[in-house]
């Protein structure tokens, strides 16, 4: 039961990261505006690079959710628990004015971290 929850959280996170990745690749300027960061060609390029990385992470999360060995799923979930919390913290440390989008993006990271933690702690 616990491992099925972890698989479902991994799949949901994969979808969220996949959508974010496409958004970052296709419309980095809008993402920068939502984060209240200055638009520049360098930052747009960086957002696209992050988008490609997120796309790869989303694919790996989806594939890891299908692992047969429960121990591997648990290991990936532990990594994602810490990573999601770090994403939430880092988002709040943005060198720009905090906006509704910043808070939302941070809350998504904290939400996934909490979901992983609760599932990991349940037996």
Task: Give the chain's count of helices (H) and strands (E).
Answer: 5, 0
What is residue 79's predicted lDDT score, i.e. its pLDDT? Answer: 96
Give the confidence band of 1 by pLDDT, cuts at 50, 70, 90. confident
- Whole-angstrom CA distances from 58 to 10, 16, 71 are 9, 8, 20
Give the confidence band of 95 by pLDDT, cuts at 50, 70, 90. very high
All structural domains of the chain with their residue ranges:
2-121
> What is the rounded average pLDDT for all residues in the chain?
95
pLDDT of 73 higher than 80: yes
- pTM, two decimals, is 0.90
pLDDT of 72 higher than 90: yes
Helix/strand/coil for 1: coil
> What is the pLDDT averaged over residues 5-9?
96
35-69 pLDDT, tens digit per residue, is 999 999 999 999 999 999 999 999 999 999 998 99
Q: Which tokens is 108 given?
A: 């998504």
pLDDT of 2 higher than 90: no
How would DSSP label each residue in 53-95? HHHHHHHHHHHHHT-S-HHHHHHHHHHHHHHHHHHHHHHHT-S
């Amino acid at each position: 039961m616990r491992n099925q929850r972890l698989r479902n959280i991994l799949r949901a996170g994969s979808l969220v990261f996949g959508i974010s990745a496409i958004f970052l690749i296709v419309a980095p300027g809008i993402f920068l505006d939502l984060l209240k960061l200055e638009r520049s060609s360098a930052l747009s390029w960086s957002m696209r690079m992050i988008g490609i990385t997120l796309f790869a992470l989303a694919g790996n999360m989806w594939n890891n959710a299908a692992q047969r060995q429960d121990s591997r799923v648990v290991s990936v979930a532990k990594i994602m628990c810490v990573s999601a919390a770090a994403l939430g913290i880092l988002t709040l440390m943005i060198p720009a004015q905090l906006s509704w989008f910043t808070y939302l993006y941070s809350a998504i990271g904290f939400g996934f971290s909490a979901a992983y933690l609760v599932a990991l702690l349940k037996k």
